[in-house]
Amino acid sequence: MEAIKARRWRELERLSPRRRALCELAEKLSGQPTRIVEADWQPLRDLGFDDRACLEVAHVVGLFNYLTRLADGMGLQLDQAVRQAGETGVALKRRE
- Overall domain count for the chain: 1
- pLDDT tens-digit readout, 37-46: 999 999 999 9
Separation between Cα atoms, residue 29 and residue 47, nearest integer Å? 18
Model confidence at 7, in pLDDT bands (50, 70, 90)? confident
- 96 within some domain: no
Does residue 95 sit within a domain?
A: no
- pLDDT tens for 20-78 read 999 999 999 999 999 999 999 999 999 999 999 999 999 999 999 999 999 999 999 88
- What's 45's domain CATH number? 1.20.1290.10
Question: Could you tell me the pTM of the whole model?
Answer: 0.76
- Please indicate, yes or no, if residue 94 is contained in any of the structural domains: no
Q: For 16-49, what is the HEC assignment?
A: CHHHHHHHHHHHHHHHCHHHCCHHHHHHHHHCCC
**How many alpha carbons lie under 13 Å from residue 39 in its C-beta half-sphere?**
1
